[in-house]
Structure formats: structure tokens, C-alpha cells
Amino acid sequence: MPAQITEVIPSLGTPPTTADPATFDTRADTLLGTALPAMITAENVFAAQANALSTEVNTKADEAAASSVSSAGFATASSASSGVALTHELNAASSANFKGAWASLTGALAKPASVSNNNKIYLLLNNLADVTLSEPGMTADWETFGALMIEERTSNTEITANDIGKIIQYTTGGFTQTFAAVSGFSANWFGYIKNASATDVTLNPNGAETIDGLTSFVMYPGEMRLVMINSAGTAFVTYVLNSFSKGFDASGTFNKPPGYQTFSGILWSAGSSGQRTNYTGTPSRGGAGGGAFPFDIPAASFGATETITIGAGGAVVTTVADGNAGGNSSIGSLLTVFGGSDFRFGGAIGISNAFKDSSGGQVASFAAGGVASGSSSTVWGGANAHIYGTSPSGSSVYGGAGGGGLTEAAVLAAAGTSLQGGDGGVASSVGNGVAGEQPAGGGGATHTGTQSGAGGDGRLVIRGVL
């Protein structure tokens, strides 16, 4: 039986849309997990069948030409048979008639033919009088063929219609990704963009055009989106396929990205610095750790931008004095976490507007670090330093740990540790105290060193939730 093209390229189905959140996850899973792999498999089978058919057609043509020498009638019949087969499978055979890179071609080009352009393979649908006037991906004379392609980028290259179906992955961020005018894209254009770097990438459509109704927005690390043309053909729309995780180790601005229901994470305040006494014979205490607070805030509560304040660790002490308090950390007016005050009180946690009075003062908190009776370990609050003896300073699961101290006899009290926050800094009798780790660790104390250890700065880790 002659070779035939039996494979049918399946439809991608209904795409996910934020207008129908109830079906978004199911449709997205189906698109990426089922529909696209099925289409790629079908296209590979299609290509194999086309190659087999092309081989058979060429074989029959050669046989017909050879037979014409001895039998004109047989040659005529064979040529007719070959002609029917060739006409029947003309477009399919294009995949077996690869002409090379489109940019290298000139003059007329007839079916069947296929070319490469911008890392993709295209099949010719219409005979061309001048191939240079019809660029694959830009006109209806061509159709893409083959599997999805991943293109890694480290800087901006304008996204155009030629990027259809491509996965663009940023391995280095810190730049603005631009787009060609929407008018140059086909109505069924789609592509994928992924920020696989550790820094931000800003998406900025052409001129006054929009993406998700915005003139631009930031893609934070880890995020991946499906990009499409809206139904009116006038703007870009995106669908989040993988959410982001963004860390702030210093104050800055959070630009709210579209497509999320909630933002969650942990906010740490800063730890206080250690004490300096300038002589032995009296205890010298380490600094208290800053607090940590887990949050889960609706995206609707965020403004388009929110000021992120990361508390600075308590400054070192160079005179005879207690340690300096750590700074507060906040997300706009949505959430504030108070820093470690001194060796006696670790950072309080969970202080939002609901827990502050009209002047901004603290009126309630959850699990402050401890009191002056001795070291106190915590789960979320900042741990305080040890007051008496050589027992270690307070530790914490999420908050900052207390800094190390010294007894009257210059015996070191070990610094506390934290599983998710910063460890406390180590104390020294005649040397300098060691700074607490970021986030939120308390600084180490000193007797006669030049200075105590500074407190660890705060931190914010924020993630998008679909």
C-alpha cells in the first residue's frame, strides 16, 4: 500500500483566561501538560510520514523515467500515477524539500518547500514569484512546523511576530524587554516568557500599547507567562504559569504584577547591636534579634506600588553603652515588624495597622523576644540575649537570634542560632563583637574591644499566589 499522511495535528483547545478563574488552572495544566506535548508528537509523526511519502514519490518518478526508454505507454501510465500522488501530497512533501535559510534564498520558490528562519522551520503554502518579499512568520504564505524552541536571552531583543510559539528564557535580568507594535502580529500569535534570572525584567509594549492593561510591569525572578494577543487585536494579554519569589535585602519599591490573587511571604525587622562595657567585672550582653512575621495579603490590598522599608541593624557601640535598637521593616502601610530594642527585648512581630495607635505606637504584638530574666528562644519573635551566666543567648525558628555575651569574668556566652532568620554575632572580651547575620540577628558584645557587633539588617521575601 502506498505511503500516506494519516496523522492529524490536534487542536490546542481552549486557552486559560483570568476572566474564568474557576477553569484557569485546569486549562493551563491541559495546555502545557497534554495539548502541547500531543501536538509536538503529532508533528513529528507527520514529518516522518511526509518523508516516507516523498521518498516513495521520488522512487516512482525515477522508475517512470527509466521505463520510458522501452515503453512509452508504461511511462505515460507511471508518470500519471506519480503525478496524482505528488498532487495529493504536495504540501506534506514540503518537509522533505528543505531549501535552507530563508535569508539565503532569492528568486521564485514553488511548493513543496520548507525553510528555516529565526530558529524555526516553515512550510511554504503558496508559490512565490520572489521569495525575498515574503518572510516566514510575517506573511500568510508560510506555516510553522516542528517542536517548541527555547531561546535564552541576557539582554533585550525586541519580541516580534517571528517569536511565535517560542519560549524566551532570561538567564540574566536587569533590563527592559520591548515588543514590536501589535499590528505586526497575527491574531493567533502566542509565546512564552520566563525570568530564570535572579534579577527583574520589565515588560514594555510598543509606544502607548498595553500588556494586561498596563503600559509596563515587572517580571520578578522565577515567573513564567503565556503571552497572547487580545480578542480585539489591539494589545497583549498574559497568563501566569509559574509564580515569582522576590527578595528585598534593602529598602526599595514593590511593583504589583498582574495576575495574582494574593501575595505571601515573610518580613523580618532588624536586630540590635551588642553592648560595650569597657572593662571586665561586669557582664556585657549581646544584642536582641529582630522579629519575623509571615503574611498572606490579598493582591487587591496592594497599591500599584508599595514602598518597602528594610530596617537597618542597630549601629555598633564604641563607648560604654547598651546596644542600639534595630530598625523596623514595613510593606507600605500594610504591615510593620518592630526591630529588636536592646538585649532585653527581641523584636515584636505581627504589627499591622490594626495593632498601632493613632500616633503609630505599638499597642499589641505577638510573642516579643523575651524579658530580662534570662535568654528566651522563640518561634517568630526576635530572641533576646542572655543576661546572666554562660548559657547561650536565645535562639529562634524564624526570628533573629540573640548575640553572644560575656560574664564578669570574661567567659563567653555563645550566640543564639536561627533556622530561618540570622544567627547572633559572637562576643569578644578584648576584640570587637561580631555583627549579627542578616536577617535580624543580634550583634555580639565586647568588654574592651573597639566596638560591639552591629545588628543584622531586616529582609523581605515575597511571592505571588495564583
* Rounded-to-integer distance, Cα 232 and Cα 236, Å: 10
Asked if residue 129 belongs to a domain, the reply is no
Output 11 or 203, whichever has higher pLDDT: 203
Do strands 120-124 and 114-117 pair parallel, antiparallel, or not at all (unpaired)?
A: antiparallel
Residue 281 to residue 238: CA distance in whole angstroms: 67
Q: Give me the chain's average pLDDT, please.
A: 81
263 and 390 fall within a common domain: yes
Report d(CA 205, CA 176) in Å as an integer: 10
Chain-centre distance for alpha carbon 327: 29
Last residue of a domain, one of 209, 242, 275: 242
Query: Is residue 130 a part of any domain in this protein?
Result: no
- Cross-strand pairs, 117: 120
Q: Where are the alpha helices (DSSP H) in 68-133?
A: 72-88
- Tell whether 460 and 346 lie within a shared domain: yes
The band of 276, judged by pLDDT with boundaries at 50, 70 and 90, is very high
One domain, residues 238 and 263? no
Question: What average pLDDT does range 51-67 have in this prediction?
Answer: 55
Same domain? For 161 and 301 the reply is: no
Q: Are residues 214 and 256 in the same domain?
A: no
Element housing 53 (H / E): helix 36-67
Q: How far apart are CA 161 and CA 138, in angstroms?
A: 6
Question: C-alpha distances in angstroms, 182 versus 137, 208, 229, 233, 405?
Answer: 14, 11, 8, 7, 64
Give yes or no for a contact between 162 and 117, defined as CB atoms under 8 angstroms apart.
Answer: yes
Range scoring the smallest mean pLDDT among 19-23, 234-238, 387-391, 433-437:
387-391
Residue 222 grid cell: 522565577
All three cell numbers of 8, joined, read 492529524
pLDDT beyond 60 at 325? yes
Mean pLDDT is lowest, of 1-5, 12-16, 26-30, 174-178, for 1-5
Residues 356 and 444 in one domain: yes
137: in domain:
no
pLDDT at position 165: 83
Residues 304 and 390 in one domain: yes
Domain assignment of residue 104, yes or no: no
Please name which of 34, 16, 36, 33 lies closest in space to residue 25, comparing C-alpha atoms.
16
Domain boundary, last residue among 34, 67, 96: 96
Task: Find residue 297's DSSP bridge partners.
Answer: 263
Residue 168 in any domain: the answer is yes
Amino acid (1-letter code) at residue 311: G
Quick check: bond before 205 cis, omega within 30?
Answer: no
> Which of 151, 119, 128, 121 has its CA nearest to residue 46?
121
- On whether both 302 and 435 belong to a single domain, the answer is yes
Model confidence pLDDT, tens digit, residues 426-435: 999 999 999 9
State yes or no: pLDDT of 277 exceeds 60: yes
- Residues facing residue 253 across a β-bridge: 307
Q: What is the pLDDT of residues 203-221, one digit of tens each?
A: 999 999 999 999 999 999 9
Q: Do 329 and 406 share a domain, yes or no? A: yes
Residue 106 maps to a domain = no
Distance CA 340, CA 273 (A): 9
Q: Which residue has the cell 518579499?
A: 133
Considering 72, 96, 120, which residue would you say is the last residue of a domain? 96
Is-contact 438 269, C-beta < 8 A? no
The confidence band for 148, taking pLDDT boundaries of 50, 70 and 90, is: low
Give the chain's largest Cα–Cα span: 120
Domain span at residue 422? 247-466
For residue 329, the cross-strand partners are: 337
> Is 138 contained in some domain?
no
Pair 315, 433 in one domain:
yes
pLDDT in tens, 102-113: 999 999 999 888
Q: Which of 84-93, 203-212, 345-354, 365-374 has the highest mean pLDDT?
A: 203-212
The structural domain count of the chain equals: 3
Cell of 457: 539588617
Confidence of residue 202 (pLDDT cuts 50, 70, 90): very high
Whether residue 35 lies inside any domain: the answer is: yes
Q: Are residues 166 and 297 in the same domain?
A: no
Are 87 and 162 members of one domain?
Answer: no
Amino acid at 430: V
DSSP 32: I
Segment (H or E) for 44: helix 36-67
- The whole-angstrom distance between residue 61's C-alpha and the CA centroid of its chain comes to 55
Q: Is the pLDDT of residue 443 over 90?
A: yes
**Backbone φ/ψ region at 94: left (φ over 0), alpha (ψ -120 to 50), beta:** alpha
The CATH number of the domain where 233 resides is what? 2.60.120
What is the pLDDT at residue 2?
58
